[in-house]
Amino acid sequence: MVKNKLYSHLTNISVALCVSLAVMPYQVKAQTQARIQTATRGTFEEALTIQFEPPPEKGIPTQTVGGGTRGQCSLQQQDTKKPLTLLTPAAQEGLTMAERPTFFFYVPETSAQKAEFTLISQDEEYGYQTSFSLDSKGGVFKFQLPAEAAPLEVGKSYQWSVAMICNQQQRTEDIVAQGLIQRTEATPTLVTQLGSATPLQRAALYGKAGIWYDTVKTMAELQISQPNDSNLVTAWRQLLRSKYVKLDDIAQAPIIDCCDTN
C-alpha cells in the first residue's frame, strides 16, 4: 500500500514537472516579447523628446528654407519645393561645439556632377574650400570638415555655402545656398550630462541646449547606422519639421555620407 502511494506521488510530481517544462518556453517567450515591446516603446518615447530649442539671442524663425539660393541649373526633376537647401535652423545661424563640425545639405536630383563647399569667417581671416562629386539621385549630404582644415574658434561666426556647379566655364550659373555657424563651449553641467548619455539622450541634450549642428549630426549618424529603425526615422522627421527648423520638404530625403573631395 505504501509502495503504491509512493509511486502515485512520484507520478504526480513527474506529470507536474513535465507540464511546467512544457509551459516554461512559452512563458519565457512571452516575457521576452514583453521586454522587447517595453524597450521599443521606451526608445520611441525617448526619440519623441528630441526637440531643437534655439538660444534666445539667436532670434525667432525668419524663413522656411535653410539658406538662400541663386543661379540656374538643369534639374532632372524640376521641383521648386525642393531646391538646394542647407540644414540650418530657420533663424539661419546655428551653434556647434565641434572644432571641425559636420554640415548637412539637401541636393535635388540634378545633371550637375560637382559641387563646391566653402567656409569663411566673417572677419575673412579663415577660409576653407573644396569640391566634390554629386550623386545624381539627390538627397541629404553629410560633410565633415576634414583634419587638414583649421579648427573653428570658440565665439567666432562663419559663413558656409554649397554651390552646385552647372557650368565649370561659367560659374555665374551656379546654384548657391548660404548659412551661418558659430562655435560655442558647453556648460560644465552639459559636459557632465553628455558623459553618461546614450546617443539618443545626447541628441536630446544638444537640442535642448540649442546646439543645432551637433543635434542633427547625432540623429543623422544614428539613422545611417540603423536605417531600419522606424523610431529613428520618426525622430529625424520630427526634428526637421519642428517650428524652429521648418525643413518639412526634405524630411523624408535619404541621407548620403559625403564626400569624394578633390
The percentage of the chain sitting over the pLDDT mark of 70, rounded to a whole number, equals 69
pLDDT at 19: 47
Q: What is the pLDDT of residues 150-200, one digit of tens each?
A: 999 999 999 999 999 988 888 888 889 999 999 999 999 999 999 999 999
pLDDT at 137: 78
Q: For the chain, how big is the Rg over CA atoms in Å? A: 26
In order of their start, the domains of the chain are 56-257 (2.60.40.10)
Q: What is the pLDDT of residues 192-229, one digit of tens each?
A: 999 999 999 999 999 999 999 999 999 999 999 998 89
pLDDT at 78: 46
Q: What is the pLDDT of residues 16-60, one digit of tens each?
A: 545 454 554 555 444 434 443 433 444 445 555 688 988 876 544
The residue type of 138 is G
- Compute the CA torsion angle 56, 58, 60, 62 (nearest 10 deg): 180
Residue with cell 561666426: 157
Q: 96 versus 10: which is more confidently predicted?
A: 96
Residue 122's alpha-carbon distances to 125, 126, 180, 215, in angstroms, are 8, 8, 9, 24
pLDDT at 173: 83
Give the number of other CB atoms < 10 A from CB of residue 249: 18
CA 119/CA 223 separation, integer angstroms: 26
187 — phi, psi (to 5°)?
Answer: -70, 155
pTM, whole model, 2 decimals?
Answer: 0.76
Q: 241 versus 63: which is more confidently predicted?
A: 241
Bridge partners of residue 141, in order along the sequence: 105, 256
pLDDT category at 96 given cuts 50, 70, 90 is very high
CA 29/CA 71 separation, integer angstroms: 60
Residue 210's alpha-carbon distances to 50, 188, 194, in angstroms, are 11, 15, 14
